[in-house]
Amino acid sequence: MSEAVSRPTLEAVAARAGVSRATVSRVVNGGDGVREPLVERVRRAVEELGYVPNQAARSLVTKRHDAVAVVIAEPETRVFADPFFALQLRGISKELTAHDNQLVLLLTEGRDDHARVGRYLAGGHVDGALVFSLHLDDALPGLIQGAGVPTVFGGRPGWSDGNLPQTLGSAPSGQDSTAVYVDSDNRGGARDAVRHLVGLGRRRVAHIAGALDQTSAVDRLDGFRDVMADADPRLIAEGDFTPAGGERAMRELLDRCPDLDAVFAANDLMASGALRVLREHGRRVPDDVAVVGFDDMLPVAEQTDPPLTTIRQDIEEMGRLMARLLLRRLRRNPTEADQDTTTGVVLPTTLVRRASA
């Protein structure tokens, strides 16, 4: 940095407490093997002088920063507009704070900035990374692998078998390139949604898919097809997980298939957009068209008109679990890591019935 600054030194603390530098160092790094009265004297001196341990030096000893990066592969505007991310971050924040780890959120304006994120991750500023909202054609997984920090993904990564593709990863031979991830049962949840609509007697069930460069969108589409194996392909429209995308897709669907009698939207935000368009077109919900969403995002799902029947996934718990898995990986030593065969944890979903279906 360009401004010279100084601060109270370890020596100053040692002098104030009347102990050696080594003693101060031991106390600051956990106090192992130091008698309680001495610990107390050092702590008082630290407080009186406003001493902040030199984390860089401390990290050289402990090899730990007690900090975890969170990377969301979306522009910061999207991060703050979609409550999904706030919920996942809430779970992550609670878990990291409970273990006195600093949450370091790396924001970007878009994909062009991902190389810079990779450099920051490689720079020795964090112990590990939590990464979510990956897109299939994104270089981010490769950059993260190249950065060499242990990582847990939110949502199943798009490469097959959970292994980084050779073209993406620069993982040297012998390194475990298995991707650990936490996901919801997107396919099973989608099946439940569509079965519910079919159970209500609906025959022309449409699907508003999410952005199909994300596995969550692909898995929910697969779940839709599991139940509607021979569905008219015109009953499927791709959205982008935003309310505006849901509106666009709903207009397309009404245009192509005016006889549709149900819609399963791949998330609640798109369902809320679809409900607006249906109202605009004078279609009564659920009488004319039944609608089911995905997420059970509150307050959105309760405040739509009518309130939304949806598939609940515990987004906050997903975040918490991602953090927990990463911290567990960080505590382990490398030999133990090789014995770990867990690659994915998939959480169950449940149908929540409200007025829209």
String marking each residue 165-184 x if it binds a second copy according to CB under 8 A? ----xx-x--xx--------
Does 56 sit near a second copy (CB under 8 A)? Answer: yes
* Six token digits for residue 86: 């706030």
Binding-site size, a second copy (CB under 8 A): 74
Does 86 sit near a second copy (CB under 8 A)? Answer: yes
Interface of this chain with a second copy, residues 1 to 40, rule: CB under 8 A: 1-8
Q: How far is the CB of 120 from a second copy (least distance, A)?
A: 5
Cα angle value 320/321/322 (rounded, 5°): 95
24 SS3 class = helix
Q: How far is the CB of 173 from a second copy (least distance, A)?
A: 10
Does 61 sit near a second copy (CB under 8 A)? Answer: no
Q: How far is the CB of 342 from a second copy (least distance, A)?
A: 15
Interface of this chain with a second copy, residues 94 to 153, rule: CB under 8 A: 94, 97, 100, 102-109, 113, 116-120, 122-125, 127-128, 142-143, 146-150
Q: How far is the CB of 77 from a second copy (least distance, A)?
A: 6
Strand partners, 294: 311
Nearest-CA neighbor of 291 among 205, 174, 186?
A: 205
Does 344 sit near a second copy (CB under 8 A)? Answer: no
**First-residue to last-residue Cα distance in the chain:** 59
Does 354 sit near a second copy (CB under 8 A)? Answer: no
Contact criterion met (CB below 8 Å) for 136 and 167: no
Give the residue, chosen from 39, 66, 276, 307, that forms a contact with a second copy under the rule CB under 8 A.
66
DSSP states along 160-196:
GGGBPPTTT--PPTTS--BPEEEEE-HHHHHHHHHHH
Give the residue, chosen from 77, 303, 342, 350, that forms a contact with a second copy under the rule CB under 8 A.
77
Q: How far is the CB of 331 from a second copy (least distance, A)?
A: 7
95 SS3 class = helix
Burial of 87: CB neighbours in 10 Å, binned 0-12, 13-18, 19+: buried
Say how far residue 262 (Cα) sits from the centre of its chain.
30
* Six token digits for residue 342: 């867990």
* Six token digits for residue 165: 């593709």
Q: How far is the CB of 310 from a second copy (least distance, A)?
A: 21
String marking each residue 297-336 x if it binds a second copy according to CB under 8 A? --------------------------------xxxxxx--
Q: Considering only the stretches 46-54, 188-196, 208-216, 272-280, report the one whose residues sit in contact with a second copy under the rule CB under 8 A.
A: 46-54
Does 341 sit near a second copy (CB under 8 A)? Answer: no
- Evaluate the omega torsion of the peptide bond into residue 306 and state whether it is cis, within 30 degrees of 0: yes
